[in-house]
Amino acid sequence: MPLTPPAPDAELVDKLVVANRILYRQGVVDGFGHVSARHDKSPGHFLLARNMAPGLVRRDDIVTFDLDGAALDAGGRRVYLERFIHGEIYRARPMCRRSSTAIRRASSRSA
């Protein structure tokens, strides 16, 4: 596994950006929750947006991580703590191509 993988396919990055925005627009996530994709050219890496609102994600916000959750190209930008969960999913499930962590706010209404 190379230390720095080749650039991912542009279409994969675009799909990841769109996935973030769709999840936000459909109310699956708000300021929390995110979606990742296994790197198409390096199975020991995955792509995830930097720590930001999913509805605002753009191509330049996508960061490459290794399966230990180390950001390879964050450039000092904050990254999600949950990246470790994504890395462990990809490690445990070699055939898994994408993962999502959606956190919904608990309702303040009592049952």
- List the pLDDT tens digit at each of the 111 positions of the chain: 447 899 999 999 999 999 999 988 988 887 777 899 999 999 999 999 999 999 999 999 999 999 999 999 999 999 999 999 999 999 998 888 766 544 333 323 333
Classify residue 3: in a domain, yes or no: no
Look up the domain containing 67 and give its range: 10-101
Classify residue 106: in a domain, yes or no: no
Count of domains forming the chain = 1
Supply the CATH number for residue 75's domain: 3.40.225.10
Classify residue 52: in a domain, yes or no: yes
Burial profile 46-68: b = 16 or more Cβ within 10 angstroms, e = fewer: bbbbbbbebeebeeebbbbbbbe
Bridge partners, residue 36, by sequence: 48, 99
Q: Is 11 a catalytic residue?
A: no
Residue with tokens 């753009």: 58
Tell me the whole-structure pTM to 2 decimals.
Answer: 0.84
**Under the phi-then-psi rule, with left for phi > 0, alpha for psi from -120 to 50, and beta for the rest, what region is 33?**
left
- Single out the catalytic residue among 82, 83, 87, 99: 82
Classify residue 109: in a domain, yes or no: no
